[in-house]
Chains A and B, each alone.
Chain A
Amino acid sequence: MPGCRLNDGMPEARDSALRHFGASGRYLFVHMQIPIHTETLANGLRVTYSEDHVAPLVAVNLWYHVGSANERAGRTGFAHLFEHMLFQGSANVQANEHFELVQRAGGTLNGSTWLDRTNYFETVPSNQLAIALWLEADRMGSLLPAMTQQKLDTQREVVKNERRWSVDNQPYGTWWEKLPALTYPSTHPYHHSLIGSMEHLSEASLEDVAEFFATWYTPDNAVLSIAGDFDPVEARALVQQYFGGIPRNPSPPSRPDFSVPPRFDRALREVVEDDVQLPRAIVAMRIPPSGSDAWYAASVAGAILGMRKGSRFFRRLVRELQVAADAGAYTFDLTKGADLLIVDATANGGVTADRLEQAVHDELDAFALDGVTDAELARALALIETDFVSSLQSAQDRADTLSKFATYFGDPSLVNEQPGRYRAVTAAQVTAFAREWCMASNRATLLYVPRIVAQENAE
């Protein structure tokens, strides 16, 4: 960032910046530093407040540190099914009233489930902060009285339809479960499907709901972030009133072992026949966990390989060779065990799967062999910087990022160190990353090829 500085880490300084906020800087965030105030309630709930008054709205964002990785054997998809159940009411909220009350307040809301976390969030007009907090607290404190077999059966079918919609009836849709299955060992918590199998969804019971709730949905396993236009004294009082009485988990659960060898150590490959017209190659490299120094070099490598039209993959595969109609790269941002850096390319018309796959691997070979130039690094860092500033625009995006750093690293203020972490990456580090992590023996290839349908042959 121009003029960006690392957070000095002194709580007093942060409070001071908070008090003078708006008076001293030209922009919403002085030096692109988000104001942060944190507290931990007696029951273990960690709360982050980030105050500004640019618009009369406030974002509430709650992360539970549980995801599909924490499902027991035979219950794939349960963490996500459970997320659906959280919109089915609680002791003081009727079924479907959660959505209605937030929308009646003029707010937006949703939830999402990931491998190792589940989040719930609302953005509401600032005078409606209390209703958002009350709704989140009521379901954290007293979900189970509202749970019924009929609600579970209905949401089970809704989720099965979500699976059909996003996986089974969607071209390449199975990649979501095939890639983790290929890249993590069968005993690893990331190996199994996040959306879950139809069979396991059918077997989920109300007892599972009660057990999962008691085990994972407790204040000591959650972080709450509030960002935007609020009065700090009032907000803290509301948080205390609504969440303060929820008991912590008397016996916190053990977490699974996420450790894996640092690399695959052999090329992995799976060919998938699918109802698609064009082949697609998805190649994943196992990389250090998100948040580590080495990960930032990997993240920059991803931008050099696949971010926008100036990236290597676009220049080479799309523009020059024209074997691909589209190409990109991204990381999964996993902080436990090991992360994945993924490149993907979809074939141009008339290009075979073999040719596409070869071109992708050739490009990765060149990357591993040659490393990167200063110009490539500069392009990647500039794009990442603009993306970071853009991401500060939305209060909900800020709240979600604060929850992420609080959940994974115990410190939401790490968000303010991100520009510095990226700026510290050198071309030599990215080159070293390419040599050590992008070689053929650390690649897993998922190759989608068109299934030839008989009736199309007949045409």
Chain B
Amino acid sequence: MTTVDMSVRPTPGAPRDYRFPAFESVTLSNGLRVVVAPVHKLPLVTVLALVDAGSVADPVGQEGVAQLTASLLTEGTGDLTGAQLAELVEVMGSSLDAGADWDSSVVKLTTLSSRLPEAIALLARVLTEPSLPDDEFQRLRTERLADLLQQRSEPRSLADEAFAQAIYAPGARYAMPDGGTERSVRALTLDQLRAFYDDRYSPRSTTVVLVGDVSLDAGVSLVSLVLGSWSGSLPAACAPPDTTSAAARGIRIVRKADAPQSELRVGHVGPPRLTDDYFPLVLCNAILGGLFSSRLNLNLREEHAYTYGAHSGVDWRRWAGPFSMDAAVQSDVSAKAVREILNEFDRIRAEPVTASELSLAISYLDGVFPIRFETTRAIASALASQAIYGLPADYYDSYRAKIRAVTADDILRVARTHLDPAQLQVVAVGDPDAIAEPLTQLGIGAVTIIDPVDTLGS
């Protein structure tokens, strides 16, 4: 064997086929859906029990109830306390956690497959007969308040929350943190959690996803055994949240005295997950700020060195979530950085992306597809999205072809349709003394200065 001329770049061989793991769906007689993807790579199984009980279902004034209810599920069932339950789960080497995001509540289990029968029985008990004890409720509510207190000093959380407040109409659910505000969390009662559980948790609003070292038959049998006798009617459909945009374009500075950086968010209300333009938008975002080699990152990081990294993204939700362009920039260039962000925003709407940009983004998203699904947890998350949003059965099998089919014209069209300069809001968590004046001089909107407590408080 010899060495080669290094100036000759290698060319790829023929690609090997890949298919997203095969899975099957079954609906039990009580209305509960079961999705099983057998992947016998290692003796592991991930189980997700998804309930149509996300934060968007929080009743008005009870913001945070979905998250607290989910967290409380694993704090006791029957005669088991939360501490005893943790012990039982962990001595098997398993993990059992529960939480909620905007679109669903979820109980997650990861376990060695040899322990699946006992572990999934515990998952079923916390899902169907949680004791929802008062002492643990008080503790978790206090911890959530501590978390909100903590966020007053965290630039990234502050920026995200101030941005949500800036883009949505006042009082809209999406304008508040998914875990609730200090005021709403402080006011929550155990009775409200119990009522939320009774209203939203039902086999008819639940999908159980099993991925890993389990066969289709065994997976369905196990779920039937532990959840087949759970009964309940279909909960009322969740009312869509208000996704109206805030009225006037403007700049908000969240005060952080002497901050060495400004944490920036620039954007507006984005499209919902089920938009027909999903694939062109994914490509558009990859080129604008999704990839390392994106326009925003090459401009703000590699050309100007304003930041460690600049990105853009849509927070995909059932209803219209935020679209934002983000960067943490050194304070003295805050206005220049916002100007560059706006330039890139305008440019992606003004002219088609280049052939090179398009081929880079397509070949990345196409090629990286198998790499995204190496773990049971990643496959389970993908199947969870499919269940939550009702994506078609062949969604993952057709994903790569749909990515490859996107053209530069498609991207220009969706950029002009979904990105709107008139709606843009700018948020900077930083030092007003250093950045208020330069940001005002940008001439893109009035500057208001707010305190952290007003972002998370009420």
Contact = CB atoms under 8 A, between A and B. Distances in A.
Is B truly associated with A? yes
A241 B307 CA distance: 38
Shortest 7 CB-CB distances between A and B: which pairs? A106-B367, A382-B93, A157-B305, A130-B10, A56-B16, A245-B3, A386-B93
B240 interface: no
A390 B374 contact: no
A355 B178 CA distance: 31
Contact of B16 (A32, A126, A393): A126
Given A168-B260, A275-B153, A161 B41 contact: no
Nearest to B21: A55
Given A92-B9, A310-B90, A389-B44, A169 B259 contact: yes
B43 interface: yes
Measured as residues with beta carbon below 8 angstroms from the partner, the interface class of chain B is 35 or more
Contact of A104 (B152, B261, B364, B373): B364
A386 B367 contact: no
15 contacts: A54-B41, A56-B16, A107-B371, A134-B10, A142-B6, A155-B305, A161-B306, A161-B308, A165-B307, A277-B150, A309-B82, A348-B142, A389-B112, A390-B375, A395-B374
B13 interface: yes
Interface in A116-143: 123-128, 130-131, 133-134, 137-138, 141-142
A382 B147 CA distance: 30
Nearest to A171: B153
Contacts of B95: 308, 383, 386
B371 A108 contact: yes
Contacts of B369: 106
Given A127-B14, A154-B305, A168-B260, A57 B110 contact: no
A138 B91 CA distance: 49
Interface in A204-256: 229, 236-238, 240-242, 244-245
B91 A378 contact: yes
Given A99-B292, A162-B308, A138 B359 contact: no
B6 A91 contact: yes
A160 interface: yes
B457 to A, nearest CB: 11
Interface string B80-115: 001100110111111100000000000000111010
Interface of B: 1-4, 6-7, 9-18, 40-44, 82-83, 86-87, 89-95, 110-112, 114, 139, 142-143, 145-147, 149-150, 152-155, 213, 255-257, 259-261, 263, 291-293, 298, 301-303, 305-308, 328-330, 359-360, 363-364, 366-371, 373-376, 451, 453
A156 B302 CA distance: 11
Contacts of B142: 322, 325, 348-349
A308 B90 contact: yes
Contact of A276 (B41, B153, B308, B367): B153
B330 A161 contact: yes
Contacts of B370: 55-57, 125
A453 interface: yes
Contact of A103 (B14, B139, B292): B292
Contacts of A326: 143
A157 B373 CA distance: 36
B41 A309 contact: no
A161 B152 contact: no
Given A164-B260, A348-B143, A379 B306 contact: no
B84 to A, nearest CB: 10
Contacts of A384: 93
Contacts of B10: 130-131, 133-134, 238
Contact of A27 (B41, B263, B301): B41
Nearest to B143: A325
